[in-house]
């Protein structure tokens, strides 16, 4: 099994669109307060699922355990799948 958690770029972009702020911008790009603390890329569930399937991961599912801020936005992009 493979399990990933990363920022949900679609949700983060929506939050920035609704309320432009430095904090919402840092949520997209990382705090960048030390060299390793930045996001090299961002994903939506559809894009991440497609990349995982291309790498041989099957039964890719999104896990939603909670919401943050706005009730319909998940707190992160949490994905599980099976590498066959």
Q: Which residue has the higher pLDDT, 6 or 60?
A: 60
- CA-CA distance, 59 to 44, in Å (whole number)? 17
Give the E-state strand segments of 1-84 in sequence order.
2-6, 57-63, 77-83
Does the pLDDT of residue 50 top 90, yes or no?
Answer: yes
Task: Please name which of 75, 83, 81, 77 lies closest in space to residue 41, comparing C-alpha atoms.
Answer: 77
Other CB atoms within 10 Å distance of the CB of residue 70: 11
Does the pLDDT of residue 47 top 90, yes or no?
Answer: yes
Other CB atoms within 10 Å distance of the CB of residue 11: 22
Which of the four pLDDT bands, split at 50, 70 and 90, describes residue 76?
confident
Minimum mean pLDDT range among 51-55, 66-70, 75-79: 66-70
pTM score, two decimals?
0.77
Boundaries of every domain in the chain: 2-83
On whether the CB atoms of residues 4 and 37 are closer than 8 A, the answer is no
């Amino acid at each position: 099994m493979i399990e990933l958690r990363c920022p949900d770029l679609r949700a983060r972009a929506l939050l920035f669109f609704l309320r432009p702020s430095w904090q919402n911008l840092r949520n997209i790009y990382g705090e960048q307060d030390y060299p390793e603390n930045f996001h090299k890329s961002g994903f939506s569930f559809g894009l991440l699922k497609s990349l995982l399937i291309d790498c041989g991961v099957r039964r890719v599912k999104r896990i939603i355990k909670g919401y943050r801020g706005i009730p319909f936005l998940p707190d992160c992009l949490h994905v599980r799948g099976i590498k066959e």
